[in-house]
Structure 1
Amino acid sequence: MKTTYFIKILASTCFSLLVVTFSIDAQVSLTEFSGKVVDGKSKKVLEAASLNINETNIGTITNSEGKFALKVPSKHLDSKVVISLLGYNTRVVPLSKLSKEDNIIMLYEAVTELSTVSISAYKDAESLVRKVFKNKKDNHQDESVYMTAFYRETIKRRSRNVSLTEAVVNILKQPNSSSQQDAIKLNKARKSTDYKRLDTVSVKLQGGPFSTIYLDIMKYPEYIFTDETISSYRFTFNEPSTINNRNVYVVDFKPKNNGLNINYNGKLYIDVQSLALVSANYTLDVSNKSKSKNLLVKKKPSDVVVYPLEANYKVDYKAKGNKWYYSYSNLSLKFKVNKKREIFNKVYTLSSEMAVTDWEINTTERKIKGKDRLRPTVIITDAISGFSDPNFWGEYNLIEPDKSIESAIEKIKKSIEKQKEEERKQTANG
């Protein structure tokens, strides 16, 4: 008899979370625009480019193939869409200039010039980073905010999708200065999981949307930098960059030594004018196999050893007025599973991302009932079902699926159709 083992993988070594709701009027008339964002010179596709309807909080981002789909309420059709990406000049396009499909939007790399005086205002990069975290109450969200976000989670064995989960979630984002954790409510979700393809080992992500929202290091700095650990990193200035036509400091960081149990290497992007963090990209150091062995694992069989091969994290913020708000995050984990008495190792890739597609300041102090909250330990593939309706997402904005995900969805649809046909035959045969 074949035994199936389940390994729960943490999104990071210590991520978990809480949850809430916010909905859009289902009767709103919408127009959808789709297309691709590319580099104007090289024509390469641009991933994670942000598209926002001007003077609103409605937006989306491009997928790994540069594709986007943006649903716009009719009352905003006279507006403009703002397209931005770190390192590129921001572009503003009237919606009236876009067709419904096959739009190609070109962005051009920005040339950034920062005088040495700008950088010399800080004796070193570490003092700048400390100032960013010290002043976060002034620069980043410090009020209660309701957000609508799209979440996608995929698990692959080698290059094959074995689990695909998508959800629209409602987030009650607590002030950064508050000790209260954020809360998330599952609004609408669908999944497909084929554990047969995983042979004797099945992988699950613990935390679901929580795993991505805890990458908000302005709200949860303890997951990467604390007052104690920040001095264990070496911070250095890199070439400056640009986001939304604003100059940005680029600060590299890496551990001074291997004294920490968990080491990260990465980059921080800091707005020159406000000293707000606008983006962070970092990776977990997995070079020491004896130290990283089973590091991301919550639960596993005794005869299985899990080695992380890669662990990459990203978080972005958007400016609204003089404040910056959490807008996007993703994580990508690649790991190898060794099982005793088996010749071949198995390699899995787990990815999850969340993009905020709309939000509003919580002026009415709405609360989230306990029964509506997702658990911090939720395994979202165990909590939801369904993947059949082609118009499933309705009015919600989402991240367009790339080709591999489109292929997986097509297989899911065919499987559902086949199952329905068999049920019809059984009913006809009485």
Structure 2
Amino acid sequence: MKRSSLFVQAALVVLACACGDGGDAGGQGGQGGQASGGSSTGTTGAGAGPSTGTTGAGAGPSASTTGAGGGLGPHVPEPSTPTRGGTMTFTNIGAPGWWPRRIDREPGDPACDYKDGDDTWGGHCCMTEHHATSDKLAPFDEEMTLIMKAIRVKQLAVYQPGSDPAAWQMISSWDAKDGVGSNLLVTEGQATSADFTGDLTKKDCVTYFTQDKPFACGDGKDYYCPDDPGIMHLGWAGSKLIVFLASMTFDDAGVEKCDGGGQGHPGPWVAFVASELIRDGGRKWNGLCNCYSKTGTVGDGCGEINVFEVVMDNNEYSNREFMSTGVRSYQEGHIGGSVCGSGCDRDEFAEDVEVVDACAQKAYDEGPVIEAGGASDGCPTWRRPIGDRYFMILLDEAQRTIQVAVIHPERIPSAAAEMLPDLPGGLSRGSIDAMLSMRLPE
């Protein structure tokens, strides 16, 4: 009972910190911290060295084609011990509701019906209640932006259904072989480019991924338009699938602060957030004027998914050898988000284990399911991978489901065989349904 309580408290702590202060662009949710000691995912892991250049370290040749609609082709991964893979399946996602949206109005305007006050830095903050009526994945059917930190990427692809809902198309992509995105822009600081090295392990900078399409703000009266060209691009709305081949294996000591001033925060982080959250005037860090929360304590607002987060904040909730996955929005506040804190030891689990129950301290025999408004299969969390993995997040309106998966390149399940390792230009609806049905390990 004590252990279960700890993980619930830890989830709340992680969620509550997600808005952070505007001055910290290096930690997850504005949190900092020093690197912890070495361990099995440090320099002793397979392919542990840092990558250089546009092709990524130890990546090997890639059969990349044209990207996006032409597909990417297979990529030779770094060798590592094969694992059984894992999934976390979030069901019953989507509900009518509302979140606070920042708009561009003068003080005293009646449209500021949620807040008419100050933002984090003393500027005017006008917010209105923005209501959604759909239950089909809402609010995650809205435009969303991908965020990454402290990870080495080899390939990345985004699929969405086209005019024919039975056919999903690759609409954005990047491959280490070419180093140039197709309908994909990467923003770090004030620099935005389709060129990308793939290596985000040298500094703890937060990096944003969007489409290569401008976001039209109009006259700004119904949507706040920050003076920040780097993130004024479209995310991905509706159903979407993001899959990338990447590694979280690197030397913690090699990570510098984003400004180059000493040891940086080495915790890998992958998030998928409401695009309007990063357009708050502080790129998600404007805690007093953004759509993250209605109550100010949990993420019961416009929608954020901590897809993979290694919590390293020098407290009892931290453990560099495990990753957390949590979904938060106005629907439930937060779902999932369990962590495996300081009492967890990765070596207590078999080498081929990917997903574990942090409360019961045992590996899952079948991928856990977490139902919004319902039951959860324990306290699911991930062992931090050693070597390359395919990381996947699939958000589907038809089944109102979010499927998060970690797949070893040498053990691709039959349900994902149409997609991996080829990453073709299109996928059938049958393949999408098959992946939503995966419960890895099986």
| TM-score, shorter chain, exceeding 0.5 | no
Structure with the largest fraction of strand? 1
TM-score (norm 1): 0.29
Structure with the largest fraction of helix? 1
Bigger Rg over Cα: 1
TM-score (norm 2): 0.29
